[in-house]
């Protein structure tokens, strides 16, 4: 019975050790991901600018409340609100390296296990979506 237990523990340790070493993505996949991410960010920024331009005339007709402005200024002056903002900023700064590690691990796992089967379909889908978005919103914004 103890021999079976030893074999089971050794196998469990090997599986655990192999799971700790996640595959790293290739430079080509990282560049492709980065390019796609930058395209999405540019599109979102352009859409935000267009939405602001469209809503600006409407906002001029809405009466602005002095009480709301005073309340926001009062909140900004409170020390506990400032401390919450500082803590949130610090946590966000600490999470950036962790998010990058998780992103790289996810890309590595995708490239190793899913890309051989899904890569062509995903690439075709992304290309089709890009073409459609470029017809709705031109790729070259002023």
Q: What is the pTM of this model?
A: 0.64
Query: pLDDT class for 140, splitting at 50, 70, 90?
Result: low
Please tell me the predicted confidence (pLDDT) of residue 19: 58
Instruction: Please state, in angstroms and rounded to a whole number, the distance separating the CA atoms of residues 142 and 138.
Output: 10
- What's the pLDDT score for residue 10? 77
Listed in order, strand segments (DSSP E) in the chain are none
Q: What is the pLDDT of residue 134?
A: 80
Q: Which of the listed ranges 16-20, 64-68, 90-94, 110-114 does the model predict with the highest average pLDDT?
A: 110-114
Residue 95: how many CB atoms within 10 A of its CB? 11
Give me the residue spans of the domains in the chain: 25-136
Residue 78 has pLDDT above 90, yes or no: no
At 3 the pLDDT is 74
Query: For position 128, what pLDDT does the model report?
Result: 92
pLDDT tens, residue by residue, 8-61:
777 777 766 665 677 889 999 999 999 989 888 888 888 888 888 887 877 677
Angstrom distance (rounded) from CA 82 to CA 90: 12
Instruction: Provide the pLDDT for residue 34.
Output: 92
């Amino acid at each position: 019975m103890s021999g079976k237990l030893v074999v089971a523990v050794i196998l469990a340790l090997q599986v655990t050790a192999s799971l700790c070493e996640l595959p790293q993505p290739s430079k080509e996949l990282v560049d492709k991901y980065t390019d796609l991410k930058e395209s999405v960010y540019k599109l979102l920024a352009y859409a935000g600018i267009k939405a602001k331009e469209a809503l600006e005339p409407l906002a001029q007709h809405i009466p602005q409340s002095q009480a709301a402005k005073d309340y926001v200024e009062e909140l900004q002056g409170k020390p506990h609100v400032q401390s919450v903002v500082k803590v949130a900023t610090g946590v966000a700064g600490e999470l950036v390296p962790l998010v990058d590690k998780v992103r790289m691990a996810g890309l590595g796992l995708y490239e190793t296990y899913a890309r051989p089967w899904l890569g062509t379909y995903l690439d075709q889908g992304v290309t089709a979506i890009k073409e459609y978005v470029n017809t709705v919103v031109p790729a070259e914004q002023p």
